[in-house]
Amino acid sequence: MRSYIKLSLAVLSALAVVVNGTDNNAIADSLGLHLSLRTEILFLPDPNYENFTQRHSSFANPSYNIAIKPATTQDVSKIVKYANEHNFTYMATGGGHGISRGFSHVQGAIDIDLGKFNKTQLYLDDNLVTVGAANVLADFAETLYKAGKEIPTGNSPCVSAIGATIGAGVGPMQGLRGLMIDSLRSVLMVTPNGDIVTASKTENPDLFWAIRGAGANFGIITEATYEVYDATNNGQHINADFVYGPESAHGVFAVMSHWDSDDVYPKEMSMSVTLGVNSTTRLPFISVSVYYFGPYEAAKPYLQALVDIEPVRWHNASLGWDGMTQAAGFGQTFAKACVRGRYTSHYTAGLNQTDVHTWKTVFRQFASWSGPRPWFQGSIILQRYNAKVTQQVPEADCGAYPWRDIGTLVLMANTYDGPAHDAEVDGFYRTLRESIYKGSGFSSPHVYINFGNGDEGTEAWYGPSLPRLRKLKQKWDPRGRFGPGFPIPPESGVHFCFDT
């Protein structure tokens, strides 16, 4: 069944596919006619779907019968109202980089692809920038760097800015500027019942609180406005990369452990430590990528500490902050970040400390498990950001994200050849994660949902924010239509679409 509809209803009248008890004609008549002309509707499968936003990972994906690319916020509102009335399941697609086993509960749904919301507008006089739901993190760099400004952004150029933000938004400038939610000033959004509202500190403040940490549970944001800052060190930073053999593991973890204290580890620094296995030799290695948002002289002692543990290869350079992610890992690391359609699952843990014994053991177990499994291409990444600034945010401005005390984020990104190896991978990583939790320095799991697997549970995702989030879920989304990846049960627990 092929049907590419830019509201060309002549094409539609020939169709009579029944989706969710409603045929395509009826959908096109009752919904399509009311949407603006630039909106695109596809009934799947359709070859034109390749021009919609594809998912980064094919793990536990949602399945769709209909895909719509709305052109305006009013269109999004109409689609949500229509889908609610007809009991269609739906999910918004921003940058498509989300991964959660919860997405597999979304079946036969409507894909609301936000790909047309792509404006980036800088308001220099007010130090504000507005981006659309389709804008990716790289768009910030392009717009702001030239203007001498900066904003805390993430590591990956292709993740949507809003998608990253509504989980918290972590990244290299976090030590200096806090989380992305800390720069968020307002959003334009469609609520779960289809109303268009603004949420900010002064308008719908409860909703604004909830979307800063649990955003995918509370509606669809079409635009977001952030505060921007004068670029640190005139926008120049030091970019350095190191590769170590397994014999340096103790040295690397000992340095990390020494840097656990936010009084020792500078807020200008971001460090990403990757435990990997060479895809050809299957031998383990450790690589370290550093960004230092300051002059070379200030970075030098920290680089020296990493040189002292004898990398097999290293380099450093001074660059504009807009080029940081492209340069990382000798220019290799992020080549893969924008690829779509590989099979990747995530596991994660937040750390309050780098326990040397725990991490030497994790590295050894990871190497001996993945080495002999050539179908496995995963790695374990530890991201260390100074957490002082994130913890100094006054409580009234914090939002729902509960884990501002995480000093190091662990992301286990597991790329492999498909579902046939799910049980083996999940078995290994669940056990490994237990020992990482144990050595984390926190008494309970601290999970950053945007790096999560989807199996951790509401306490690990939302911690002390959970009671208030459940109240707000009851108020804004009592049917639990939103947030399949990391769902919040409504307070009453009466009905819950994505209960896992």
Ligand X SMILES: Cc1cc2nc3c(=O)[nH]c(=O)nc-3n(C[C@H](O)[C@H](O)[C@H](O)COP(=O)(O)OP(=O)(O)OC[C@H]3O[C@@H](n4cnc5c(N)ncnc54)[C@H](O)[C@@H]3O)c2cc1C
451 binds ligand NAG (CB under 6 A): no
Q: How far is the CB of 309 from ligand X (least distance, A)?
A: 26
Tokens representing 160? 């949507």
User: Which range touches ligand NAG (CB under 6 A), out of 44-52, 61-69, 102-110, 266-274?
Assistant: 44-52
Least separation, in Å, of the C-beta of 107 and ligand X?
Answer: 15
Q: Which does 95 bind (CB under 5 to 8 A by kind): ligand NAG, ligand X, none?
A: ligand X
Question: Of the two residues 249 and 462, which places its CB atom closer to ligand X in the complex?
Answer: 462
Partner whose binding site includes residue 394, from ligand NAG, ligand X, none (CB under 5 to 8 Å by kind)? none
Q: Which is nearer to ligand NAG, 48 or 127 (CB)?
A: 48
CB 189 within 8 A of CB 80: no
Answer yes or no whether residue 87 interacts with ligand NAG by CB under 6 A.
yes
Residue 366 CB, shortest distance to ligand NAG, in Å, is 16
With vertex at residue 341, the alpha carbon angle to CA 335 and CA 347, rounded to the nearest 5 degrees, is 80
Question: Least distance in Å: CB of 370 to ligand X?
Answer: 19
* Site stretch for ligand NAG (CB under 6 A), options 91-99, 195-203, 212-220, 275-283: 275-283
145 is an interface residue for ligand NAG by CB under 6 A: no
Alpha helices in 261-317 (DSSP H): 296-307
Read off the tokens for 69. Answer: 């690319």
Q: Read off the tokens for 422.
A: 């799910």
Is 327 exposed, middle or buried, given 0-12, 13-18 or 19+ CB atoms closer than 10 A?
buried
Can you tell me the distance from the alpha carbon of 304 to that of 244, in angstroms, rounded to the nearest whole number?
14
Determine which residue in the list 352, 458, 474, 500 makes contact with ligand NAG, applying CB under 6 A: 352
Residue 127 interacts, among ligand X, ligand NAG, none and using kind-specific CB cut-offs from 5 to 8 Å, with none
Question: CB–CB of 495/478 below 8 Å?
Answer: yes
Task: Supply φ then ψ for residue 232, to 5 degrees.
Answer: -65, 140
By CB under 6 A, tell whether 392 contacts ligand NAG: no
Is 98 or 294 the residue whose CB approaches ligand X more closely?
A: 98
C-alpha span between 384 and 201 (Å, rounded) = 30
Query: 328 is in the binding site of which of ligand X, ligand NAG, none (Cβ under 5 to 8 A by kind)?
Result: none
- For residue 487, the 8-state DSSP code is P
Question: Token digits for 114?
Answer: 């936000």
Binding string, residues 277-296; x marks residues near ligand NAG by CB under 6 A? -x-xx--------------x
Q: Which segment (48-56, 104-112, 164-172, 419-427) binds ligand NAG by CB under 6 A?
A: 48-56
Cα atoms found within 13 Å of the Cα of residue 452, Cβ hemisphere only: 28
Binding ligand NAG (rule: CB under 6 A), the pick from 208, 314, 385, 448 is 314
Tokens 């596991």 belong to residue: 347
- Considering only the stretches 162-170, 264-272, 313-321, 485-493, report the one whose residues sit in contact with ligand NAG under the rule CB under 6 A: 313-321
Q: Among 195, 405, 434, 499, which residue sits at the site for ligand NAG (rule: CB under 6 A)? A: 405
Locate tokens 């350079």: which residue?
317
Residues 258 and 306 sit within 8 Å (Cβ to Cβ): no
Q: What is the DSSP string of 245-271?
A: -GGGHHHHHHHHHHTTSTTTS-TTEEE
Please give the Cα distance from 389 to 209 (Å, whole number): 19
Question: Which parts of this chain interact with ligand X (CB under 6 A)?
Answer: 56, 91-98, 114, 133, 154-156, 159-160, 162-164, 166-167, 169-171, 215-216, 220-221, 337, 450, 485
- DSSP E strand stretches across 324-460: 343-351, 379-385, 408-416
> 406: closest CA among 435, 382, 375?
382
Instruction: Say which entry of ligand X, ligand NAG, none residue 315 contacts (CB below 5 to 8 A, set by partner kind).
Output: ligand NAG
**Which residues here bind ligand NAG, judged by CB under 6 A?**
47-48, 50-51, 86-87, 118, 278, 280-281, 296, 314-316, 352-353, 405, 441-442
